[in-house]
Amino acid sequence: MRWASQPPPRVLGMRNRILRVLANGKWNGRATGSAPQGACGQRPGRSSTVCVLALLLCSASALRLAEAAARVPYTIKWTSTGKGTINSTLKMTSQLAALRTSAPVGPFGLIARARGDLKRLQTVLDSFGYYDGKITITIDGVSLGSAGLGKALTALPKGKRAHVRITPVLGPLFHIGRIEIEGTLPKGMKGALGLATGAPAVASDVLAAGARLQRRLQDAGYALATVAKPVAYEEPAQHVLNLTFRVHSGPRVRIGSIRIQGLRHVRKALVIRQLPLHTGELYDTASVEKARQDLLRLALFSNVTVRRGAPDRRGRVPLTFHLKESKRFAVGVSAAYSSDLGGSSGVHWSDRNVLGAGQRLDVSATAIDLGGTVSTGVGYDARVGYAIPDFHRRDQTLGFSVTALRQTLEAYTQNGEMARARLTRRLSRDWTASAGAGYEHEFIIQQDRNYTYNLLSIPLAARFNSTDLSSPLLDPTHGFKISLRAAPTLSSSVSGQQWFVILQGSIATYFDLHRLLPSDPPGRTVLAARLLAGVAEGASQFSLPPDQRFYAGGSGTVRGYAYQSVGPQFANGYPEGGTSMQAVNLELRQRIGTTWGAVLFADGGGVAAGSESVYRVGVGIGVLYYTSIGPIRLDVAVPTRPLRNGGSFQVYIGLGQAF
């Protein structure tokens, strides 16, 4: 906000005054080289100016050395305002608090830092609507304006701490008075401000109101509309803040020509198909931003910007999309570890634009089951995938994949080859659906018996995601993730053919505790919960192929128990697998600083086969280190009721959150 009167000038400490002289070449309004007698016995002029500057530099250096030799450690005691959000904001804004341990200062540096906090903290009170509030800071009970404060701090014995006390007094809460609009505003648009007379005059709400009005105008076709920052007029006696918004609506315009710039290897036709904009349509800022986001979602461009030109004679605004293509080829490595499955290590290669229209080729090879407690040998997972975007319509992708897989587990050993085709359509911002067909040939050994299966399936899926994240490796703080899958399958083996359907579902939700505890910064403390369930219909336990049965235990279901160990077991303790599974996961995620985090979690789940069911609970803690691509997470979990051959704890290391 802009005030009708200017705030008082900031008081500068001696050290800042010296630095100001060096920057401006003036001291008390007199030029440093304008004295009648030159410094150092020189004649007035350039040389005397140099000498004066040299003396000032020496003085500044001496001052820094003196302060370095007499650092003043200090403590801070805050007087509560009675409002948690204001208290926490004051502490986060204070330089006295932020630099107390990381940047020690001398006596006069401490005074200057405290004086700087006076203005900073006063601004915090103003931003919450307490414009008559007052900040008082004392050091060892002495006010900052006392002439003897610097001398008293200099005389402190070495190692003795100074005691800083910060006392904020809120005073009366100001409310919004008159709300006036200067300029022409279309009918019915004033309500877009979202402000009402009598509401608390919180600065962030007032500023957001102006931005909201400008966005509403632009969404209604007034592409050139501007709303200046409001001018605030204070009436101290009534504790009221009157506001004036200066608005320039401009003409209502439509979209003119649409230009595409920056393409090198991507075909222009693909970009045009992705744009939900057409020449002649009413200009809508939200639609333009959606078009920009849709282009980024293709993963073909590292940056997309939109430039709006001046309206032409017909009142149409030209738009220019400038695209920066991502690197076409990408190579990466992956690694993970859990004490039950052991390590995994792989490499993948991608071509993001095979034929110029966003066709994607992915090739990966991963070594799995490296030394885990439930693995009996080394396995592999090799895949080739190909995807065609915009297949016959926008937001629809056709994908193919071929996989070769070997798993060596206590439950079974599997060697298989799979081929799948899947059509995926984006139904809305949050919903996607897919349907496909798959064939799998597999050879499985379980309990020293050999099985060969040929499986034909029709996998169907629907997914909902309202977490508003661009990458699955980022931390969700709100919203839901829902996944529903059904796979009608025809199994053919030496024992005959059988139809069955595998049904699976999961729902995960995230709750930011900032909504309950405003003093806790947004995104720092999050509760996460997930529910999993699955059932096989049309087949009994042992008529299902072993890899189609349900298992629990491990990082994906019940941590603390070895992979696949929760459920019915053979006489030797190896997993049988079941016809249904349920699991629930609860986590408390806490961000610590900028690069670290911690997690407390509890999992419960079980597997049933006929009348037999086994249910177990595991608990644990985790540590996270945040990187530019996502958090590296280490979890340690223990079972509340250990199973035979299950181990006393499990360790999991991977990239990203558990769910």
Q: What confidence tens digit (pLDDT) does each residue in 528-557 have? A: 999 999 999 999 999 999 999 999 999 999
Considering its fold, how many domains does the chain have in total?
Answer: 4
CB atoms within 10 A of CB 333: 9
Pick from 142, 187, 189, 185: nearest CA to 162: 142
Query: Is pLDDT at 51 greater than 60 in this prediction?
Result: no
529 shares its domain with 409: yes
Query: Measured between alpha carbons, how far is 384 from 400 in angstroms, rounded to an integer?
Result: 8
Q: How far is CA 63 from CA 100, 105, 114, 421, in A?
A: 20, 11, 18, 74
Bigger pLDDT: 574 vs 52: 574
296 shares its domain with 436: no
Q: What is the DSSP letter of 5?
A: S
Bigger pLDDT: 84 vs 93: 93
Is residue 532 within 8 A of residue 605, CB to CB? The reply is: yes
162 shares its domain with 215: no
415 shares its domain with 527: yes
Which residue among 325, 353, 375 closes a domain? 325
Query: Measured between alpha carbons, how far is 241 from 233 in angstroms, rounded to an integer?
Result: 6
pLDDT score recorded for residue 21: 27
Q: Confidence band (pLDDT; 50, 70, 90) for 44?
A: very low
Percent of the chain predicted with pLDDT > 70: 89
Query: Measured between alpha carbons, how far is 223 from 283 in angstroms, rounded to an integer?
Result: 6
Burial (0-12, 13-18, 19+ Cβ within 10 Å), 460: middle
141 shares its domain with 115: yes
Query: Is pLDDT at 415 greater than 50 in this prediction?
Result: yes
Which residue among 230, 248, 266 closes a domain? 248
Is residue 458 within 8 A of residue 481, CB to CB? The reply is: no
Query: Is pLDDT at 65 greater than 80 in this prediction?
Result: no
346 shares its domain with 227: no
Helix-strand-coil split of the chain, %, nearest 5: 20, 45, 35
Highest mean pLDDT among 102-116, 226-240, 409-423: 409-423
Which of 28-42, 72-86, 490-504, 641-655 is predicted with the least confidence, judged by mean pLDDT? 28-42
Which of 45-49, 347-351, 591-595, 622-626 is predicted with the least confidence, judged by mean pLDDT? 45-49
134 shares its domain with 229: no
- Under 8 Å CB-to-CB from 355, ≥6 apart: which residues? none
333 shares its domain with 268: no
Which residue among 169, 193, 220 closes a domain? 169
pLDDT score recorded for residue 517: 84
- What is the residue type of 146? S
Query: Is pLDDT at 11 greater than 50 in this prediction?
Result: no
388 shares its domain with 530: yes
Please give the radius of gyration of the chain, using alpha carbons only, rounded to the nearest integer: 34
For residues 28-49, average pLDDT = 38
244 shares its domain with 265: no
Percent of the chain predicted with pLDDT > 90: 71
0.75 exceeded by pTM: no
Query: Measured between alpha carbons, how far is 156 from 160 in angstroms, rounded to an integer?
Result: 6
pLDDT score recorded for residue 474: 85
639 shares its domain with 503: yes
CATH number, residue 192 = 3.10.20.310
Domain assignment of residue 6, given as a range: 2-169
Is residue 478 within 8 A of residue 510, CB to CB? The reply is: yes
Q: Confidence band (pLDDT; 50, 70, 90) for 274?
A: confident
Distance of CA 175 to the CA centre of its chain: 34
pLDDT score recorded for residue 70: 66
Query: Measured between alpha carbons, how far is 247 from 227 in angstroms, rounded to an integer?
Result: 5
Q: Confidence band (pLDDT; 50, 70, 90) for 184?
A: confident
**Virtual CA dihedral for 537, 543, 546, 548, nearest 10 degrees?**
-20
Query: Measured between alpha carbons, how far is 647 from 561 in angstroms, rounded to an integer?
Result: 7
Which of 63-67, 347-351, 408-412 is predicted with the least confidence, judged by mean pLDDT? 63-67
pLDDT score recorded for residue 52: 40
The per-residue pLDDT of the chain, averaged, comes to 87
pLDDT score recorded for residue 170: 94
CATH number, residue 429 = 2.40.160.50
534 shares its domain with 476: yes
**Virtual CA dihedral for 167, 171, 177, 180, nearest 10 degrees?**
-20
